[in-house]
Amino acid sequence: MKTLFEPCQAGDLQLASRIVMAPLTRNRAPHALANALMTEYYAQRANPATGAGLIITEATAISHQGQGYVDVPGIWSQAQIDAWKPVTAAVHAQGGKIVMQLWHVGRVSHHCFQPGGQAPVAPSALIAKTKTVQLIDGEPSFMATSEPRALSIDEIPGIVDDYKTAARNAIAADFDGVEVHAANGYLIDQFLRTGSNLRTDAYGGSVEKRTRFLKEVMHAVCEEIGGPKCAIRISPVTPVNDAADPEPQVLFEHVAQFLGTLNLAYVHTIEGATGAARDFYQGAQAFDYAALKAAYVDAGGTGAWMLNNAYSLELANQSLADGADLIAFGKPFIANPDLGLRLNQNGPFNEPDRSTFYGGLEKGYTDYPFLSAA
Ligand code: 8OZ
């Protein structure tokens, strides 16, 4: 029987456990640069004996245009590469592994975060009914997104190229790989779903066409750094950030079939509504996650199968028994730097403080107690 506390090979990633720290936006990277406080936070969670077998970074912008929130990090400049190096060095010094999550927010942005204060870009000029985070008088505050402009077809290759450069930069900063963020209603997900993609060109309409952008991005990053160092995160039914599609099963089985051809390290799926109900679904019937995995495996996919959303130890064991390889924990890792140890002995667990999730300094970030000191 599989357990969380045993090694797992995911492409080129040799992981000491099946426990993964999910990507978590924390808004503590002023000027889009990683820093010493972030280094301490990741290092606290990096030892696989007590923390995570794999850390996925907070979502990291591939370009200035890909930014939508205050104080989130980037990976498009040499200064950003250099700023991430102490983070990867600290994680590796603990014997841990870390991949970078590559992010373009698309329409989930405000013009104040965009180059020249311009409109955010999207597949179509449709406002996302969602909020972004800005600092107002130094305090994090939720703010409506701006009306986006539709990307012209000849701008798309440049964005694909930004993903490719970002993947190369992540490897230059000593990351063990990258996870492309195709979930939660951001740019790639906006192309996938009919609720945000009304295009009539090669990037909109049929499932084949709506998945074209995702395919181009994945081909580009795999070509740049090798499939076994690449991964992807998807959220087939999540409604977050106004993501909507009436036929997610057909859409995401097509995506999974494509991913099965890439020789990826892993595929990371958020079940249900991100950060909320696991049994939430869009479309006519409950989403069939087993069919999603079967589509991937039948297409030749051999990468690890990672699942996420509101996992307890019991649920994780159940999913491993049902065929999952890796389980990603989000909020539990915010409050428990030694979550691996705590899972291993079935608690106790610190509770996360929501008021410190987005923005701030040490409080609610690096000051959660370890078990030995609890
Ligand atoms: C919470 C706040 C801001 C961004 C995601 C990157 O949902 C995020 C995010 C989450 O994937």
The residue whose C-alpha atom lies closest to atom 10 belonging to ligand 1 is 25
- Whether 123 is covered by a domain: the verdict is no
pLDDT on residue 373: 53
Structure confidence at residue 130 (pLDDT): 98
Query: Picking from 91-105, 138-152, 208-222, 325-339, which range would have the lowest pLDDT averaged per residue?
Result: 138-152
First to last CA, the chain: 32
Helix (H, G, I), strand (E, B) or coil at 164: helix
Pocket test for ligand 1, best of 62, 184, 187, 189 (most atoms within 8 A of CB): 184
Indicate whether 228 belongs to any domain: yes
CATH number at 25 reads 3.20.20.70
Predicted local confidence at residue 331, as pLDDT: 98
- Examine the pLDDT at 232 and tell me if it is beyond 80: yes
Taking only the tens place, the pLDDT of each residue in 294-350 is 999 999 999 999 999 999 999 999 999 999 999 999 999 999 999 999 999 999 999
Counting Cβ atoms within 10 Å, is residue 119 exposed (0-12), middle (13-18) or buried (19+)? middle
Task: Decide if 113 is inside a domain.
Answer: no
Residue nearest to atom 2 of ligand 1 (CA): 25
Is 31 a domain residue?
yes
User: Would the pTM count as exceeding 0.85?
Assistant: yes
pLDDT at 211 over 70: yes
Give the per-residue pLDDT at 200: 98
pLDDT value at 279 more than 60: yes
- Calculate how far, in angstroms, residue 47's C-alpha sits from the geometric centre of ligand 1: 25
Residue 141 within any structural domain of the chain: no
Structure tokens at 351: 């509770």
Number of domains forming the structure of the chain: 1
The Cα-based distances of 250 to 41, 133, 258, 262, 298 in angstroms read 39, 33, 13, 20, 15
Using left for φ > 0, alpha for ψ between -120 and 50, and beta otherwise, residue 263 falls in left
Q: Span 112-135, mean pLDDT? A: 97
Structural domain that includes position 369: 8-106+164-373
Mean pLDDT over 234-258 rounds to 98
In a domain, 330, yes or no: yes
pLDDT of residue 92: 98
Mean of pLDDT values over 144-168: 98
Residue 129 has pLDDT above 60, yes or no: yes
- What Cα–Cα distance (Å) separates residue 254 from each residue in 128, 206, 214, 285, 292? 25, 11, 11, 17, 9
The mean pLDDT value of the chain amounts to 97
Q: Is the pLDDT of residue 137 over 90?
A: no
For residue 300, tell me if it sits in a domain: yes
Query: In angstroms, rounded to a whole number, what is the distance separating the alpha carbons of residues 71 and 222?
Result: 28
- Is 186 marked active-site? yes
> Could you write out the DSSP letters of every residue in 61-92?
ESSGGG--STT--B-SSHHHHHHHHHHHHHHH
How many Å lie between the centroid of ligand 1 and the Cα of residue 24? Answer: 7
- Residue 134, domain member (yes or no): no
